Structure formats: structure tokens, C-alpha cells
């Protein structure tokens, strides 16, 4: 029987010390617990920490884009070597997977990536993914590794995605961990602290936003701290941190890719009538578009927002929006067919 897939994302703050060094005590715990998880799951590790591991080798590091790229080039092999050292006693080999946004935006390249991971799993090898910071184009970068982990989870049809963080979970206004979020809505997002760690790019808002996307694609997400004893083993069983519940929705693999992997080229705001039509699984007509915030061309993917600036869906356009806005007077034109719209 084919194993389910779990994606585990480690942020820089989760695996480094206060001095920015990779915390080998944590890496040992990761290896020990993942060795047990691997018996039941196909595992993908998504690990930050390359920049943190490499920046100490640069004189007067100040965090510029070129310095981050250089630090990543130094730190990636160091980080993989540390992981490999602690996984080796458990007879688990690791494979480095440096990803770029285009690998997900191009459907054919993504399928190749998926086939490669499946070959690794068949040979008892765990892929450890990170962004290829050295060559990633600034405009095409992942927002952070929370996004990379989510794209892998959604695209591969993972059962769960585990987000480690520097705090025990999502906390309420009194600092108490919320054990479960059935839906990540405005109220849930308002709980996120807006600060970030000194070594990472993401934060709780990032994790909640990407947990929301994963949930809407039928994937459970857990946000928790590695400082808890047996944290990974407990997280995968839903016994620590905050569990973000998967929504009962069937989405085709193509539409999962459309919702998560494709490059978003534009944005429209639609009226309430159009929102109701989309919720009834109807196509988006031009008449329902109030504003085109960012234009797009035929075949490109765009975001659909309601009048309260809440994201409703992503869709693939049947038209060049610039041409429609300039030259077409009729508004009963289908801007995006129902089959090319994924509700979020």
C-alpha cells in the first residue's frame, strides 16, 4: 500500500541557536523522530538555515541580496552535511533538492520534480528541499520556505504539512496556545504576531496564510515548536501545537497546481453577484468585474478578490484583459470558465 506523504518545514529560528549557528541537538532530534515517521510516511523535509549557516563566513555581513545569495551558496552544503551526519546512524540517506519558482510554475517541470521524489522514496532516500537562492530571480522568488513547503504538499497531494516555529503554536490574546483552528478566517489571521525572527524570512502570518491554502486543498497543517519533547511525533498525531483542519474538498491535481503552483499574473475585484455565481461553481463574466488591479493576458493565472479585498479564487483567463477593457463593450463575455476557477 502506497505511503501517505508528509511535508515537514523547519524555519531558521527552529534549527539555529541564539548565535545563528545550526543547533545540532535539534538536528539529532529531527533525525531520530523522522526515522520513525518514515516507517509510515513518504517524507519531504523543507529546511531553511542555509543563509544562517553561511553568513558568518562573510566579512561585515549586512543582509543585502547578493550577500544572502553568497551566504546560501556557502551554507547549503554545510547544512546538508550536518543533516546527513545525524541521519546516517539511522541508515537514512538524504538528497538535496534546490528549487526555483519556475519548477512549480511550469507544469511539465513540476511533474519531473514529482517523479524524482518518488524515485528517491522508493530507494529509502528523503529529499531535503530549499530554495535555490544563488540563482533565484528576485521577482520569481518564493515568499519564504513556508510557500515552498506548501507548494510541494499541495502539488504532491500530501496528507499533512508540519510547520515548526519559534513559539508553541498559534496563541490567543492571553498567550495561550489554540489547540485547533477549524477554519483560518480573518479572526484567526488577526492572532498572528507581525514580527519575524532575526534569522528567518517568515512569521506566523505566513504560516497561517499557507496553512489556509493547504487546508482548502484538503491537507491538514500543524504549527508547533521543536522545543517540545518528541515534537514531530506528537505533531503528526495532532498532540501538540495548533492543528489547522483540512477542508473536505475534492480538487483535481491540475487545479491543485493551478491554485498553488502557477505564477499569478494579475488581480481583479468582483462584485457580490459574481461572488455568488462563483460559489455556485459558475464561470466568471466580465460584467461581474468591478476593477482590474493588475492586468493579465490570455492563458495567464490571476487572483479574484471580493469587494472587501478578501481572496476568493484563482483562475485562468480566456482573454487578454487589457484588450477587453479597451475594446469590448459587451460584458456577457466569459473571462474565466468554471473549470478553470479554483475557489480558495
**Distances in whole angstroms, Cα of residue 140 to Cα of each of 161, 184, 265, 296:** 23, 27, 11, 16
pLDDT of residue 108: 80
pLDDT of residue 263: 66
C-alpha grid cell, residue 186: 480573518
pLDDT of residue 136: 59
Regions of the chain where pLDDT drops below 50: 138-141, 195-202
Question: Taking a C-beta distance cutoff of 8 angstroms, is the pair 46, 10 a contact?
Answer: yes
Q: At what angle do helices 204-216 and 145-156 cross, to 10 degrees?
A: 10
Nearest to 267 by CA among 299, 289, 285, 298: 289
pLDDT of residue 198: 42
pLDDT of residue 197: 43
Q: H or E stretch including 89?
A: none
User: Count H helices, E strands: the chain?
Assistant: 13, 15
pLDDT of residue 196: 44
pTM of the model: 0.80
pLDDT of residue 140: 40
The residue assigned the cell 498559534 is 170
pLDDT of residue 125: 96
pLDDT of residue 139: 44
- In the chain the domains, ranked by start, together with CATH numbers, are 5-253 (3.40.1160.10), 263-343 (2.30.130.10)
Q: What is the CA radius of gyration of the chain?
A: 21
Sheet with 242-244, edge to edge strand ranges: 93-99, 125-131, 42-47, 5-10, 160-165, 220-225, 242-244, 180-181
pLDDT of residue 199: 42
**Distances in whole angstroms, Cα of residue 233 to Cα of each of 32, 34, 38:** 10, 8, 11
Amino acid at each position: 500500500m502506497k505511503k501517505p506523504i508528509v511535508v515537514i518545514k523547519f524555519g531558521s529560528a527552529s534549527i539555529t541557536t541564539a548565535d545563528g549557528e545550526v543547533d545540532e541537538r535539534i538536528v539529532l532530534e529531527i533525525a531520530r523522530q523522522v526515522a520513525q515517521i518514515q516507517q509510515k510516511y513518504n517524507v519531504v523535509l523543507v529546511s531553511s538555515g542555509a543563509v544562517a549557516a553561511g553568513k558568518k563566513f562573510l566579512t561585515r555581513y549586512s543582509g543585502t541580496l547578493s550577500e544572502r545569495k553568497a551566504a546560501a551558496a556557502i551554507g547549503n552544503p554545510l547544512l546538508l552535511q550536518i543533516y546527513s551526519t545525524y541521519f546516517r546512524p539511522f541508515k537514512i540517506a538524504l538528497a538535496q533538492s534546490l528549487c526555483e519558482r519556475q519548477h512549480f510554475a511550469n507544469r511539465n517541470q513540476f511533474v519531473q520534480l514529482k517523479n524524482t521524489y518518488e524515485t528517491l522514496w522508493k530507494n529509502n532516500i528523503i529529499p531535503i528541499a530549499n530554495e535555490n537562492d544563488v540563482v533565484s530571480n528576485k521577482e520569481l522568488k518564493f515568499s519564504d520556505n513556508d510557500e515552498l513547503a506548501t507548494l510541494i504538499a499541495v502539488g504532491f497531494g500530501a496528507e499533512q504539512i508540519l510547520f515548526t516555529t519559534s513559539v508553541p503554536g498559534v496563541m490567543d490574546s492571553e498567550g495561550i496556545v489554540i489547540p485547533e483552528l477549524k477554519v483560518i478566517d480573518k479572526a484567526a489571521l488577526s492572532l498572528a504576531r507581525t514580527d519575524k525572527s532575526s534569522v528567518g524570512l517568515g512569521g506566523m502570518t505566513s504560516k497561517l496564510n499557507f496553512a489556509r491554502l493547504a487546508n482548502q486543498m484538503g491537507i491538514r497543517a500543524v504549527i508547533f515548536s521543536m522545543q517540545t519533547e518528541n515534537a514531530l511525533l506528537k505533531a503528526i498525531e495532532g498532540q501538540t501545537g495548533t492543528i489547522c483542519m483540512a477542508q473536505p474538498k475534492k480538487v483535481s491535481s491540475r487545479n491543485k497546481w493551478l491554485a498553488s503552483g502557477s505564477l499569478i499574473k494579475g488581480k481583479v475585484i468582483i462584485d457580490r453577484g459574481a461572488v455568488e455565481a462563483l460559489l455556485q461553481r459558475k464561470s466568471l463574466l466580465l460584467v461581474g468585474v468591478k476593477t482590474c488591479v493588475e492586468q493579465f493576458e490570455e492563458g495567464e493565472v490571476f487572483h479574484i478578490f471580493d469587494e472587501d479585498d478578501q481572496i476568493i479564487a484563482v483562475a485562468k483567463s480566456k482573454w487578454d484583459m487589457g484588450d477587453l477593457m479597451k475594446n469590448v463593450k459587451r460584458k456577457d463575455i466569459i473571462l474565466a470558465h468554471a473549470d478553470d476557477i479554483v475557489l480558495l
